[in-house]
Amino acid sequence: MTGKPLTIGTPTAYTCQDSISSFITDIRAADPGNALHLSILKYNTKTAAEVDIKPLPSDVNDVNSPLSIGVMIAPNYMGNEFVKATNPVDAAVKASNEVAELTAQTARGIFKLLGGFVSSGGKAPAGQSLSGPIGVIKQGSDVVAKNDFTAVLGFAAAISVNLAVVNSLPLPALDGGQLVFVLLEALTGKKVDQKKQEEITSVFLLFLVLVSVGTTVGDVGNLFR
């Protein structure tokens, strides 16, 4: 939209996805019947095309369905930038910085997703979704099909970082939750009641199982679309 670019500065996979999610949120928050004014700059062009688009319900049979402009929005992939290290120390520094950036972006994305679920009453925020094992396998197969070894390594690294971040969340059924109990014992000097701890852990474990089942059903549905 005019005055609100999809990306700011040097675009990355993280900033592109955040921009897309924000754009979808703006579309769905538009007033029904009013048009959005877009400035569209095509690749290798210097002049932007000015377009007025009126968002419509995504389901023609349901006027209350989320608004849509009828296009698929995705990051515009331009290519990879290969960075070479000058020595082992430089390689370790570059790798550490990349892992730190990936971990920070993953954590922000997860907390944003969880916050969106809470604020929207259990619905995924615009432009974001949860995937279970089936969805991850499908994405992995798509990456492998590109025959790009660096992409496979990147995907494996992203999965590892995601698992680490999720497992660090302060939920009783995860390692982060167990760490919370340990910190409580250290601060209070008293051991947490084992029975209460098991009850709390069981409740959150059931919640995680339900989330896993829900994502699996969604992944199976996406495969047949």
One domain, residues 68 and 116: no
Read off the pLDDT band of 11 (50, 70, 90): low
* Euclidean distance between CA atoms 110 and 165, whole angstroms: 8
One domain, residues 205 and 121: yes
Going 40 to 124 to 28 to 102, the CA torsion angle's sign is: negative
Is 90 within the bounds of a domain?
no
| Domain C-terminal end among 28, 46, 76 | 76
Kindly report the pTM of this predicted structure.
0.58
Is 89 within the bounds of a domain?
no
69-96 pLDDT tens trace: 777 665 555 555 677 888 989 989 988 9
- Give how far Cα 124 sits from Cα of 90, 121, 151, 215, Å: 40, 9, 27, 11
What's the whole-number average pLDDT of the chain? 76
One domain, residues 64 and 165: no
Question: By residue range, what is the domain housing residue 3?
Answer: 1-76
One domain, residues 122 and 62: no
Is 222 within the bounds of a domain?
yes
Q: Strand 36-40 and strand 49-53: pairing?
A: antiparallel
One domain, residues 107 and 200: yes
